[in-house]
């Protein structure tokens, strides 16, 4: 099995560490939250029966879905970032650079301003469609330009274009709705349910399975398009499949969690320091670290301030950027 | 631009600070325990004697003094669901346009009883006072408060409703210059005080306008509600535009934004104040 081949040698220890950290994070994070419930109560609730229906509701309908969605969303974003960075051979590639977040923002804007009812259903759907729309435009333009290397630049341009449309609509719209859209874009896990966990899990699993199937070809891409082609890899086709996959995963996550920046850019860079650039260990490592990261960020988001939640995107960007700079500084000195 | 919208909302939030006569607090046994998700709801509940039943609220609900003691469980953007569940309220009164709709939908889905407040007009305030009275078990007092509110309103309408209209520019925000149009809460004040608003027909309820447009209006008065709660809030410097009759004749009416933009019984004080000051301007122009 490919997976076991990854976990051998010095990587074995690193991966065992990551898996233990992930499991530990899942269990520990359930104990944090604004409602005062003791660890003992939570243990009772999970293993046996809850002490009160209030505990039951808080733990099973709020906290566990949040932790699980945080885990898979972090996994998905980090994987998508890692895949994009390897596929485009661009260390700055990030799932949001396709204009996904601005596309989702446009969808959310339209849904918020036009439909006041049924927002639970309409908003994620509109955000998803908006994200997909932006990806299709980006792909379309890059195909027209006959240069997939321009994909990221196209993404930046489309991102600004869709952003300006959203801003124009918001400018004409109701201030309250504007406020909601802006804060929606900052990301949050407060509205998630178990259903979202299943949906995002399926997308993340699909991504991982695809990577397991194609990891050798992606490694070949790292050598350059010509070298990969000479090794028998259908470069364009592979790239399209992987980019589409990343777009789908990110769009699904954005639809339910809003904008969570920096995870896809930062986590793969950290993991690369630990396990190297080869696709398989990089993707598995990114998934584990990305999942842990978002779970803990959400703990901070829901329990750092006593009376309000902090939008999760603010924390990921704040921690992410500092951590990222620190890592770059360290590698500069040693490397 | 989004920053400006954000400012307006914040500005409104700040100004919905609450005030009320502390009504006789009854023993609240067998009364529903309420989460009131906006400062104006808190104030209305205190008005009708149900203040003691509020177990949680959102930020900026700071009047009457006892309202400051109520635990906070969120702001206009996010409500802490876990705290709502923990508190197990019998009733949640939410502000339809001011609370996050996704959180409210989730709260409903969890089986809580959610009632919406959306006072867009003075009549809505009276209606909601009665509704809250019924829901909180204070129908009698609510009826009294609502009736007094409506009769006070009728008196002001009767006194100022038929006066000769004056043209006014209403300055909601100075940077960028923002005014009001049909459908906005302050527009009713202008209607009742016989003040015509040149931007009444704008598409947005709080349109941003250019100084060029304002100079064309020949506004006779400028209404400038200012809030003491906000350090950064500065009025527009009108002195440089003496071409406007309002500036030339110094007919700039300053109001307490905290009272005007508050959708509660206290707004009548601001209404009365505005009508009186407008009347003084009206007399000034008639004399001149």
pLDDT digits (tens, 9 = 90+) for B189-203: 999 999 999 999 988
- Select from B12, B28, B22 the least CA-distant residue to B42: B22
Q: Which of B267, B243, B244 is nearest to B256 (CA)?
A: B267
Q: Which chain A residues are within 8 Å of B97, Cβ to Cβ? A: 174, 176
Separation in Å, CA of A151 to nearest CA in chain B: 29
A308–B9 C-beta distance less than 8 A: no
Question: Hey, are the CB atoms on B110 and A119 less than 8 Å from each other?
Answer: no
Whole-Å CA distances, B180 to A248, B253, B268: 43, 16, 19
Task: Tell me whether residues A119 and B101 touch, CB distance under 8 A.
Answer: yes
Contact A176 B71 (CB under 8 A): no
For residue A124, which residues of chain B lie inside 8 Å, CB to CB? none
Q: Cβ contacts (< 8 Å) between A190 and chain B: which residues?
A: 78, 81, 102-103, 106
Q: Could you read off the pLDDT of B30-85 as tens digits, one per residue?
A: 689 999 999 899 999 999 999 999 999 988 887 788 888 999 998 877 888 888 99
Q: Cα-flanking dihedrals φ and ψ of residue B27, to 5°?
A: -70, 130
Provide the angle, in degrees to the nearest 10, between the axes of the packed helices A151-172 and B2-15: 40
- All structural domains of chain B, each given as residue ranges with its CATH number in brackets, are 2-157 (3.40.50.1980), 161-287 (3.40.50.1980)
Contact A183 B101 (CB under 8 A): no
Task: Set out the domains of chain A in order of their start, with CATH numbers.
Answer: 68-328 (1.10.3470.10)
Helices marked H in chain B — which ranges? 2-15, 39-47, 81-87, 101-109, 122-136, 139-160, 187-192, 211-216, 245-248, 257-260, 267-287
Q: How far apart are CA A300 and CA A309, in angstroms?
A: 9
Question: Which candidate, B77, B52, B43, places its Cα nearest to that of A312?
Answer: B77
For residue B212, how many other CB atoms are within 10 A of its CB?
7
Q: What's the rounded Cα separation, in Å, for the pair A327 and A305? A: 28
Nearest CA-CA partner of A156 in A136, A177, A134: A134
Mean pLDDT, chain B, as a whole number?
A: 83
Distance from CA of B124 to the nearest CA of A (A): 19
Which pLDDT does position A21 carry in this prediction? Answer: 93
Residue A105, SS3 per DSSP:
helix
* Chain B interface, best mutation among A179, A189, A304, A306, by max B CB count within 10 A: A179
Distances (CA, A) of B42 to A90, B57, B84, B267: 54, 8, 16, 15
CB–CB contact B80 A182 (8 Å):
no
**Stretch B90-110: mean pLDDT:** 87
pLDDT greater at residue B129 or residue A332: B129
Question: Can you list the residues of chain A whose pLDDT is less than 50?
Answer: 1, 335
By Cβ distance, the residue of A62, A178, A188 closest to B78 is A188
Task: Please give the Cα distance from B70 to B35 (Å, whole number).
Answer: 10
């Amino acid at each position: 099995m490919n997976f076991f081949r990854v976990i051998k040698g010095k990587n074995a220890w690193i991966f065992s560490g990551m898996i233990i950290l992930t499991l530990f994070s899942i269990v520990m994070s359930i104990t944090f939250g604004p409602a005062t419930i003791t660890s003992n109560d939570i243990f009772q609730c999970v293993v046996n029966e809850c002490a009160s229906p209030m505990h039951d509701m808080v733990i099973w309908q709020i906290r566990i879905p949040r932790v699980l969605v945080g885990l898979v969303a972090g996994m998905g974003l980090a994987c998508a970032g890692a895949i994009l960075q390897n596929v485009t051979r661009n260390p700055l590639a990030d799932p949001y650079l396709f204009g996904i977040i601005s596309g989702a923002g446009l969808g959310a804007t339209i849904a918020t301003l036009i439909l006041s009812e049924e927002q639970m259903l309409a908003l994620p759907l509109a955000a998803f469609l908006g994200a997909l729309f932006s990806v299709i435009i980006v792909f379309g333009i890059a195909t027209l330009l006959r240069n997939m290397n321009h994909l990221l630049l196209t993404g930046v341009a489309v991102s600004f274009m869709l952003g300006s449309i959203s801003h124009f609509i918001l400018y004409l719209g109701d201030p309250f709705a504007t406020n909601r859209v802006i804060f929606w874009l900052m990301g949050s896990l407060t509205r998630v349910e178990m259903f979202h966990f299943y949906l995002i899990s399926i997308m993340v699993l699909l991504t991982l399975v695809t990577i397991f199937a194609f990891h050798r070809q992606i490694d070949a891409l790292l050598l350059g398009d010509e070298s990969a082609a000479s090794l028998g890899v259908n470069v364009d086709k592979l790239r399209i499949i992987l980019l589409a996959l990343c777009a789908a995963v990110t769009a699904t996550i954005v639809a339910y969690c809003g904008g969570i920046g920096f995870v896809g850019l930062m986590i793969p860079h950290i993991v690369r320091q630990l396990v190297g650039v080869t696709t398989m260990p990089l993707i598995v490592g990114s998934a584990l670290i990305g999942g842990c990261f978002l779970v803990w960020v959400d703990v901070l988001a829901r329990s750092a301030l006593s009376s309000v939640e902090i939008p999760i995107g603010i924390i990921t960007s704040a921690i992410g950027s500092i951590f990222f700079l620190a890592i770059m500084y360290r590698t500069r000195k040693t490397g | 631009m989004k920053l400006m919208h954000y400012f307006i909302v914040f500005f409104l939030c700040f100004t919905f600070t609450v005030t009320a006569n502390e009504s006789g607090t009854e023993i609240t046994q067998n009364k529903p325990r309420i989460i009131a998700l906006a400062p104006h709801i808190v104030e209305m509940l205190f008005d009708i004697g149900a203040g003691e039943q509020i177990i949680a609220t959102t930020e900026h609900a700071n009047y009457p003094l006892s309202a400051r003691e109520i635990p906070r469980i969120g702001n206009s953007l996010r409500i802490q669901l876990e705290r709502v569940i923990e508190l197990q309220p019998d009733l949640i009164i939410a502000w339809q346009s001011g609370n996050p709709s996704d959180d409210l939908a989730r709260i409903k889905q969890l089986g809580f009883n959610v009632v919406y407040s959306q006072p867009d007009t003075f009549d809505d305030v009276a209606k909601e006072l009665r509704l809250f009275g019924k829901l909180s078990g204070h129908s009698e007092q609510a009826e009294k408060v609502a009736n007094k509110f409506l009769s006070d309103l009728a008196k002001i309408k009767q006194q100022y409703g038929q006066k000769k209209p004056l043209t006014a520019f209403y300055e909601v925000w100075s940077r960028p210059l923002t005014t009001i149009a049909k459908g906005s809460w302050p527009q009713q004040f202008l209607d009742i005080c016989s003040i015509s608003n040149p931007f009444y027909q704008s598409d947005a309820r709080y349109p941003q306008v250019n100084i060029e447009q304002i100079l064309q209006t020949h506004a006779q008065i400028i209404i400038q509600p200012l809030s003491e709660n906000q350090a950064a809030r500065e009025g527009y410097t009108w002195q440089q535009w003496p071409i406007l009759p309002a500036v030339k004749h110094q007919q700039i009416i300053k109001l307490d934004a905290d009272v005007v933009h508050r959708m509660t019984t206290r707004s009548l004080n601001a209404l009365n104040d505005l009508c009186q000051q407008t009347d003084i301007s009206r007399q000034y122009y008639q004399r001149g």
